[in-house]
Amino acid sequence: MTTARDELPSSSPVVITGVGVLTPLGDKLAAVSGALRAGRHAIDTGADLGGAGESRINDFDATRYANIRGMRIYNRMTRLGICATKLALLDSGLEAAALPGEELGLVTASTFGHLDTLIEYDRSLVTAGLQRTNPAWMPLAIPSAPGAVIALSFGAKAFSITLSDGGVSSLDAVGLGARLLERGRARACIVVAGFAICDELSLAASRAGMLAPAEEFRVFDQRSRGTAFGEAAAAVVLERLEDARGRGAEPKAFVHGYAATFATKSSNIEGSLHRACTGAMRASRVSPAQVALVSASANGQLARDRAEALALVAALGETAARTPVMAVKANLGDTIDASGLLQSLAAVTALRSGIAPPIARLEQPQVPGLRYLREETPVDAGYALITSLSLSGACSALVLSARHET
């Protein structure tokens, strides 16, 4: 079997210097990590979903985080993205550093972030007619709109690219952002990802039998009956290590390698994710034995979770049974575009603290051979392997560390 080739061979590693999160479990990484370690989850029964679970940020008020002109006409995903970006920039100290806009790039991970605006706009055209439909909605109803607004809000002039890669969006966005920094396209790159609950999407997923009842939502568990959507946004500021050090910024994580694959008929999800994991490890020059922690994509869909577990067993080889595996979708639900970034940040926090959180409500793993965490567990320093899967069959993997491992 061939594997993806090396990516991110960097003379100066790319690092994360700022973090912003907005989740139902908190708007500070420490608070979210504390909730994860305590095994708390945010899955509740969704309104009008026949008992299916979902996770929402109930008290979100964008004005608490950012004062952006025009905020009131932006939809929820855009507001979440703006606020997460603001938090990440503050955390990085980059706002105070007054980086010229021409040196600041943005990669936005958003597949469905425009959808509620598009639905409202188009429905109004049909029911109320052209003249009674707010024309300001149109430019906000296209897939690139959340990213365009965020770039405008923060003056990102180097580039503004939106990736709509579903569940793999944010890992792809980190991979792209790092690559563009390495190529010298900017001095700093914001990667922002978000997913807001859209009623029509939830209804469609419910009718497709994808969603589990709230009390029966579990990941990696043989009794799982489906997934649950979760609302969240996350943002990070990426910089080259030398640039970060040059302005006295403290790296919060190191980006080592990334790989992406697609599950063709001949390779299926299991084989494709295996290729992505081995590709990311090889790009990072990391062996399976050096992987201290896996932050998995498992979202409660039985077939996907099974394929992911089998791929991890294969990719980690003889170390699979002793490498801790965490899975934060058990706590936050599947936050689609934001999921890879949230998994990444939870993993880095675990590496920094030396304690990894348990997989909430996991009781009967469907695939043996992995060390699924059932309680708070000490983890060694080293590398974290992050995995992502999309509904359409794409697989991405990323290797991070909390410190500059050698």
Site for other proteins in 66-125 (CB under 8 A): 101-102, 105-106, 110-112, 115, 118-119, 121-123, 125
* Sheet containing 229-230: order of strands: 44-45, 53-55, 229-230
211 three-state secondary structure: strand
CB nearer to other proteins: pick between 29 and 192:
192
> Which residue among 131, 248, 318, 406 contacts other proteins (CB under 8 A)?
131
Interaction of residue 135 with other proteins, rule CB under 8 A: yes
Task: Give the gyration radius of the chain's Cα atoms.
Answer: 20
CB nearer to other proteins: pick between 3 and 92:
3
Residues of span 15-74 touching other proteins by CB under 8 A: 48
Nearest to 337 by CA among 206, 129, 165, 126: 165
Contact 297, 329 (CB under 8 A): yes
Closest approach, Cβ 109 to other proteins, in A, equals 10
* Cα 186 from Cα 239, distance rounded (Å): 9
Nearest to 341 by CA among 114, 23, 116, 38: 23
CA atoms within 13 A of residue 167's CA, in its CB half-sphere: 25
Closest approach, Cβ 325 to other proteins, in A, equals 25
CB nearer to other proteins: pick between 221 and 337:
337
Residues of span 343-382 touching other proteins by CB under 8 A: none
CB nearer to other proteins: pick between 184 and 368:
184
* Cα 321 from Cα 16, distance rounded (Å): 30
> Which residue among 130, 248, 318, 406 contacts other proteins (CB under 8 A)?
130
Residues of span 268-297 touching other proteins by CB under 8 A: 272, 275
160 three-state secondary structure: strand
Number of C-beta neighbours around residue 182 at 10 A: 17
Which range, of 31-39, 83-91, 254-262, 303-311, touches other proteins by CB under 8 A? Answer: 254-262
Closest approach, Cβ 254 to other proteins, in A, equals 19
Residues of span 151-180 touching other proteins by CB under 8 A: 151-152, 155-166, 172, 176, 179
Nearest to 247 by CA among 95, 140, 353: 95
> Which residue among 31, 200, 215, 354 contacts other proteins (CB under 8 A)?
200
Number of C-beta neighbours around residue 392 at 10 A: 12
Vertex 215: Cα angle to 214 and 220 (nearest 5): 90
Closest approach, Cβ 354 to other proteins, in A, equals 33
Closest approach, Cβ 367 to other proteins, in A, equals 23
> Which residue among 30, 31, 96, 204 contacts other proteins (CB under 8 A)?
204
* Cα 185 from Cα 157, distance rounded (Å): 11
Closest approach, Cβ 85 to other proteins, in A, equals 13
